[in-house]
Structure formats: C-alpha cells, structure tokens
Amino acid sequence: MAAAQTRAVMAALEAKGGAGCARFVGGCVRNTLMGKPVDDIDIATVLTPDQTIEALEQAGLRALPTGVEHGTITGLSGGRAFEITTLRRDVATDGRRAVVAFTHDWAEDAQRRDFRFNALYADAEGQVYDPTGEGVDDAREGRVVFVGDPMTRIREDYLRILRFFRFQAWYGRGEPNAEALAACGALKDMLLGGTAERIQKELMKTLAADDPRAVLRLMAAAGVMPVILPTVTSLARFEALVAIETEQLFETDPVLRLAALIPGDVEGARVLAEGLRLSNADRDRIVGAVGQEPRIVSWMSPREARRVIYALGTATFRDRVKLAWAGAERASTAPQWRALLALAETWTPPTLPLSGEEVMKAGVPKGPMVGKVMREVELWWIDQDFIEDKFSVIERLKAVAQGMVY
C-alpha cells in the first residue's frame, strides 16, 4: 500500500478533504496483518462520490462512476484500479440489495460490514483502526466472526452465508465460530432462488482455496451444500483430488474440483453447470471431465492412452486421469497415474496424413463417400498407433477405396 500509485490516490483525496478523510479498508488491511499477498486495494472516505471524482480529476487521475448509487467510485492511478467508497449506513435491506445513506461516522460504516476482520481501516501512515475492537485479533488468529449478530448480517445479504465459508477456507484457523455456523445453517434457505452468478462466484472462490476440504464438510453438515449443489452425494472424490493436488504439487484447480463433486453423469453435469451460470468453456470442460467413456484406468498401456488422448483431446484426458486417480482406492498406483499425465504432456496428437483430394484421386467420387473413406482409413491409422509412414497410409486408402466404391 506504499506504492506510488496508491500514495497518489490517497494524496488526491486528502488534498480535497484533509488529512484522515480516507483510509484503506477491508481485505488489504486484513491481508497485511496476516502476512498474506494484497491484490485489491479498497479505500473508504468521508468524501461524497461527487467530491471523490473532483479530487481525483484535480490530481490528474481518472475517475469512473462504477457504483455511484452505493457511493463507489473507481479511481485509476498508474494503470491500477482503486475502489473508493463513501462511508455508509444501511437504510433498508432485503437480503439481496441495500438502500444506503452516506455518513461521516467510521464506526457506523464498520457496523454494516460482514466480518470483524473486514471492518478494519488503516490511514496513509499505516495506523490501523479497529472499530469493533476484535478485528485485529481475528485477523492475527484466523477467526471468521460476523460483525454483531450473525443472523442480522445474513438477513441483510444472503450471500454472507457463502462468504463465511469462503473466508473460513482462505483464512480460518482452528474451529469455526459456532454462532456464525449455526446462523448459516438456520438461514440456508435464503440461498434458494438467489442469483446464480453470485452464488457461483463465491463457490468457485471457496474451491480455489489451498485446502477447502474441511470447509466443504462444514457446508454439508450445515445443510448449505444441498441447497447450492443438490446433486452432490459424496465428498470422497473431491477430497481425494485435493489430496492428490497437494501431494503432487499440482496447481489448484477449482473447476476440476467442482467436477469432482459431480457424479459421473454428463447430463447432470450440464444441468448443474448451466444452473450455476458457468462460462461455456467451464461448462464444456466439466461435462467432458465427468464422462465415463472411454474408460480411464491406471494400467493403460502407452498405446491405449494415445488412442484415448486422440479421441478426447489432451486437456480432457488430463482431467479424466486426475478424476479417475481420485476415484481409485490404491495409493500404490500413483506412479502409473503420473505416467499417464506425463504422456499427455509430452505426446501431441498427430493429424491424419491424408487429404480429401488424395481420397478423390484414389477414385472416390466427390461427396459423402469421401468422408466415409477417410474415417475408415483413420480407424486403421489409429489402430496402427498413428503410423507416420505416408506410403502405408496411401496403400490402405487404395484398399479401402476399392472395397467401398466397388
């Protein structure tokens, strides 16, 4: 938070409203205290949105009115975005959106935030302010605790149920806060009919944590899992996949982790993916990953594996190997699964060395028959383990063409 771009924004705001009119807030303060990387920098200020815009523009910085009705302006400094929000208090809430009024009271602003370690502020000099009196200790000890009454906070915004589990997965240490967990379970039905995109975003962030196994067990025990993922019947494959990723130092993969939660049902996977409003790419990846044919087993020979890679594509083959590995019972097969993944990384599926023009030169008339002949030759070529001998391919073409045309 000491970068030149950041200092420029804070200086611009203080030039307008005086020293102390703006403070860093939320995640950037929390992560700094916890010794974790800071990605986004949010700023709270007593300045109104109009005053914030004026302050930034007078300093030669860009200001984008990204959420004026909620008091939020996005400032751009040195190519970096800063979300700057006027201090607020809730006037009315309905579980999805809030009507707010601006305030100059930092404590009042803190009371509308979700968790105590997210209600921390720090000024430009690094002085930390903790209006709830518990936020600093929560951050240092890894406690995820709602500001005030958990039931009240959740009724203000149903998504705070999923945020509790997400923050527990990323920052929690030890046993979860019992009062918070009980409130999430009691109000879980508020998630029914919720905005799919918002639910999906929180779910995927939870799955992206280094090790979310314990948290998903909490979600299942609290009855939250059946509400957002009704087709999930077991966490076993998911937990095994996370263990494999951890042990093998694989990159954390939230999309594949979601696929691991879904039974091997392609149509069910498609329905779930569309219900969560996943991107087309993520939907197609999950549907491909949960497919059962052709079957993937650890004892596949390199030749068999190449056939499957050619049929599925390298990415889908890799996903299915990891899911099959996670579903296997014997840990002793790990070297075999790793060998299959290594083959997928090093072998590039070739292209059939045959063109439609060559097929027609062999006497096959233009039209659907060309494709049929090419497919027959391709099946032979695959069976020959993708033979690179062009002469042999042409000879096979002649034999197939003769048999199919005559």
pLDDT in tens, 263-281: 878 888 999 999 999 999 9
- pLDDT tens readout for residues 119-142: 999 998 889 999 999 999 999 999
The DSSP annotation for 309-351 comes to HHHH-HHHHHHHHHHHHHH-S-GGGHHHHHHHHHHHHHPPPPP
The DSSP annotation for 250-262 comes to PPP-HHHHHHHHS
Q: Which two tokens stand for residue 186?
A: 């009691």
- pLDDT tens readout for residues 341-400: 999 999 999 999 999 898 888 888 898 998 999 999 999 999 999 999 999 999 998 888
- pLDDT tens readout for residues 300-333: 999 999 999 999 999 999 999 999 999 987 666 8
- pLDDT tens readout for residues 26-58: 999 999 999 999 988 999 999 999 999 999 999
Residue type, 311: A
Evaluate whether 156 touches 146 at the Cβ level (below 8 Å).
no
The domains of the chain are located at 1-141, 148-228, 232-349, 356-405
Q: Which two tokens stand for residue 59?
A: 């300093």
> Residue 86 has what DSSP assignment?
E
Give residue 121's pLDDT. 96
Q: List phi, psi (to 5°) of 73.
A: -125, 140
Evaluate whether 219 touches 188 at the Cβ level (below 8 Å).
no
HSE-up of residue 5 (Cα within 13 Å, Cβ side): 11
Q: Which two tokens stand for residue 239?
A: 């937990």
Homologous superfamily of the 1-141 domain (CATH): Beta Polymerase, domain 2 (3.30.460.10)
Strands 80-86 and 22-25, sheet pairing: unpaired
Q: Which CATH class is domain 148-228?
A: mainly alpha
H/E stretch holding 24:
strand 22-25
- pTM reported for the whole predicted model: 0.89
